[in-house]
Amino acid sequence: MRVVLPALVVLVSAALAAGQPKCRLVKAAAAAHSPPTPAHSPSPSPFPSPSPTTTLTTPQPPSATGPPPPPFDYNNTKVRGVNLGGWFVLEPWITPSIFDGTGNPGIVDEFTFGQMQDTTVATSTLQKHWSTWIVEDDFRQISAAGLTHVRIPIGYWSIPSSISPAPFITGAWPYLLQSIAWARKYNLYVIVDLHGAPGSQNGYDNSGQRLDQPTWAATPSNIQRTVDAITMMAQEFSKPEYKNVLSSIELLNEPAGFNSSILQAIRPYWTEGYNAVRALSQDIVVTIGDAFMGVSFWNGFLVPPSAANVLMDTHVYQVFSDDQLSLTNDQHISAACAVGPSLGSYSSRNLWTIVGEWSASPTDCATYLNGRGRPARWSSDLGKSCQGLTGDSTNFSASYKSFLRSYWEAQVTSYEKVNGWIYWTWKTESADEWSYQKGLEGGWIPQDPTQRLNGSICS
């Protein structure tokens, strides 16, 4: 994460003084804090029951009929959105049954999902997943919840122009285009986020390939292939049918700035990616990230007048170290409240800034959150019970739901001191505490995201 608070350790790569990367998932190489394996039972079925809008037919991209919506006003309107995680880039903790259903413990990410089983089986599984995990009705629900944006992760291997994507299974691209049509229908704006790059930009399973040492920056060809993927997306999304609905292209999710070769490569890559988009569109917002270095590391970079329409994305979680997990509920809330003012000092002089990933969960108890085959620190390091803290929210106590609501309010209040937020994630199979959808159903997330039960929570 990104923010270091005076008395509290809040997960960010600014805590790089400790030399330990902080992110949603922890690298296999991070032996000092080896991520845990949860001991929860996976969901019995790999796929949700299809809604009435589910279709397995060829997805339909947007058409250019009708006037485009107005562009999103990042200067005056808060971003309030959700990530559609686990859809086009598999994550074991979001859909554990897809991985458990293989019967192979060596399948830990989307790369090994295609590599270590029959291609026909893997393809069939993914096509069904793409058709059923997120459907049109999800977009209707997201819009009805008063949200403005969806951030959609996708891997380089799903971009049609990608070279040598094997063993990744291709074919997600048409479903992405269809999702933009749904966003237009339900008055939502889209950020398409390149979540996985060739060789992996961080070594986490959410990049598509879990590695001890990410190799994205090891060869110039990997970086060039990533720029090519951005160029292809810009070519597609500069067409009239996407105008303004496709609000932003995020050049790369969570590059590991704590890796010296990646840190050296990322600044020129941000510039190349920005130029690739600007060669085709002046209107598409270009989103960059802080690369686990903290936003202040990027002071003066890609700012006007040398660049325009650039958005900074930082990610904030409080669950990826023993210190963070040891915080009391009040300390979690205090830490969240400190983030916004810290980001504000950067944003006021540099770029629009959002917290593009965050969660109401105070634990890492979700099955496979730290990687398939790895336990939760909450139980393995701290010796605490995960019972009632993850899984089916009908088993959550009233006091736990009350805390989740307060923690949600503290974070949105804090992050709206800059340009807004995008929650991670919309839905999960078996970790309701991470699911915005389940939060709405369970009452710890309000149907109106501007509603506050405690308006002075960060005062």
- Please identify which of the residues 241, 254, 409, 429 carries the catalytic annotation: 254
- Please identify which of the residues 136, 241, 357, 409 carries the catalytic annotation: 357
- What value does the mean pLDDT take over residues 52-79? 80
Contact predicate 201/255, CB 8 Å:
yes
Is residue 248, in this structure, part of any structural domain at all? yes
Nearest residue to 350 via CA among 423, 430, 272, 294: 294
Is residue 62, in this structure, part of any structural domain at all? yes
In whole angstroms, what is the distance from residue 100 CA to residue 85 CA? 18
Tokens of 29: 């190489």
Tokens of 444: 């710890």
Is residue 451, in this structure, part of any structural domain at all? no
CATH number at residue 83: 3.20.20.80
Is residue 456, in this structure, part of any structural domain at all? no
Q: In this structure, which amino acid lies at residue 430?
A: S
Is residue 331, in this structure, part of any structural domain at all? yes
Q: Which domain holds residue 303?
A: 13-442
Place of tokens 């932003």: 248
pLDDT in tens, 437-457: 999 999 999 999 999 999 899
Mean pLDDT, all residues of the chain: 90
pTM for the complete prediction? Answer: 0.89
Is residue 65, in this structure, part of any structural domain at all? yes
pLDDT above 70: percentage of residues in the chain: 87
- What value does the mean pLDDT take over residues 170-186? 98
pLDDT over 70 at 33, yes or no: no
DSSP, collapsed to helix, strand or coil, labels residue 437 as: helix
pLDDT over 80 at 142, yes or no: yes
Is residue 86, in this structure, part of any structural domain at all? yes
Number of domains in the chain: 1
- What value does the mean pLDDT take over residues 291-311? 98
pLDDT at 20 (0 to 100): 38
pLDDT over 50 at 422, yes or no: yes
Q: Dihedrals φ, ψ of 158, to 5°?
A: -90, -5
DSSP, collapsed to helix, strand or coil, labels residue 247 as: strand
pLDDT in tens, 143-160: 999 999 999 999 999 999
Residue 236 designated active-site: no
Bridge partners (DSSP) of residue 192 are: 152, 249
Distances (CA, A) of 386 to 26, 378, 382, 401: 19, 7, 11, 15
Q: Dihedrals φ, ψ of 91, to 5°?
A: -135, 125
In whole angstroms, what is the distance from residue 387 CA to residue 447 CA? 27
pLDDT over 60 at 423, yes or no: yes
pLDDT at 428 (0 to 100): 99
Residue 409 designated active-site: no
pLDDT over 90 at 318, yes or no: yes
pLDDT at 56 (0 to 100): 55
pLDDT at 408 (0 to 100): 99
Is residue 200, in this structure, part of any structural domain at all? yes
In whole angstroms, what is the distance from residue 43 CA to residue 26 CA? 23
